[in-house]
Amino acid sequence: MEPGAAGGAAPEEAKRPCADSDGAAAKRRGTSVDDFAPQSMTLEAFRRLSRNQQKKVMRQELWDGRAAEFKDKQRQKRRECRRRHNQRVARGEAPARRPASEQTHSGVQVVLDMAFDDKMCDKEIKSVCAQVARCYAVNRQAPRQVALHVSRLYGKCRQRLGSATHYENWDAKHIVFHDAEYIDAFALDKHRLVYLTADSPNTADRLDPDKIYIIGGIVDKNRYPRLTLDKAEEQGIAHARLPIGQYVQMATRRVMTVNQIFEMLLRFIEIGDWRTAFMDVIPQRKFRDAPGGQEPEPEPEPEPEPEPESDGSSCASTEKAAD
Q: Are 179 and 306 in contact (CB under 8 A)?
A: no
DSSP one-letter code for 221 = T
**Residue 309, SS3 per DSSP:** coil
Q: Over the Cα atoms of the chain, what is R_g?
A: 29
Distances (CA, A) of 322 to 40, 82, 110, 309: 61, 34, 15, 16
Q: Which of 245, 318, 257, 301 is nearest to 283 (CA)?
A: 257
Residue 179 phi, psi (nearest 5)? -70, -30
Which are the contacts of 318, defined by CB distance < 8 A and separation ≥ 6?
A: 215, 216, 218, 255, 256, 257, 258, 260, 261
DSSP one-letter code for 312 = S
> Which DSSP string do the residues of 241-303 spell out, in sequence order?
B--HHHH---SS-----HHHHHHHHHHHHHH--HHHHHHHHS-GGGGTT-GGGPPPPPPSSPP
Give the active site residues: 220
